Amino acid sequence: MTKLSEQQYQVVAKSVSDKKALPGALLPILHDIQDQLGYIPKAAIDIIAAGLNQTAAEIYGVISFYHHFRLDKPGNHLVEICRAEACQAMGSEALEQEIKSKLGIDYHQTTKDNNVSLEPVYCLGNCACGPSIKVGERVYGRMSGEKFSRLMDKLSTYVVELGQGENHAR
């Protein structure tokens, strides 16, 4: 297991101490850590467990139950494609295939250049204007393979211009 960096340790320790007194504190703590680090490093589990007086297994069990929480670091951009029925009715299945082949990855994978991680999602609440995808915090409606390529070009350029991986992932 990779050790936490000093900065990561600070984030985790602060989240736990800030929120452990909340009733039902675990989800708020996990969200807070993932919002800041982009994921929940495995080495954080023991610290959370100690803070909440629970076992590491309990913490891991909660993380693994929820699709949103991830234990591995995502790419610079987290792309989520809606797989639910309203988007299916607008051709999301073909869109999924197109996006996967453009990126050269499947769900739960990250591109080799570490630019994009791909996840399925079941409904973004944009069902009147599907098919929908979400990139970082932003939802895009009436998505197509072509529009996705343009969007990706824009996002890659943006990262290059900033000269660093701007972290869109939550």
Write out the residues near another protein by the rule CB under 8 A.
23-28, 30-31, 52, 61-62, 65-69, 84-90, 121-130, 132, 134, 137-142
Residue type, 79: V
Q: Between 9 and 69, name the residue whose CB sits nearer to another protein.
A: 69
Query: In a 3-state reduction of DSSP, which class is residue 57?
Result: helix
Q: Between 31 and 100, name the residue whose CB sits nearer to another protein.
A: 31
Phi, psi of 91, rounded to the nearest 5 degrees: 90, 30
Shortest Å, Cβ 164 to another protein: 23
For residues 124 and 139, the answer to whether their CB atoms sit within 8 Å is yes
For residues 106 and 120, the answer to whether their CB atoms sit within 8 Å is no
Phi, psi of 146, rounded to the nearest 5 degrees: -65, -45
Q: Between 6 and 137, name the residue whose CB sits nearer to another protein.
A: 137
Shortest Å, Cβ 48 to another protein: 11
Q: Between 28 and 104, name the residue whose CB sits nearer to another protein.
A: 28
Shortest Å, Cβ 107 to another protein: 11
Q: Between 5 and 94, name the residue whose CB sits nearer to another protein.
A: 94
Residue type, 123: C
Shortest Å, Cβ 6 to another protein: 27
The pair of structure tokens assigned to 131 is 């098919």
The b-or-e profile of 59-97 (16+ CB within 10 A means b, else e) is: bbebbeeeeebbeeebbbbbbbbbbbebbeebebeebbe
Shortest Å, Cβ 19 to another protein: 10
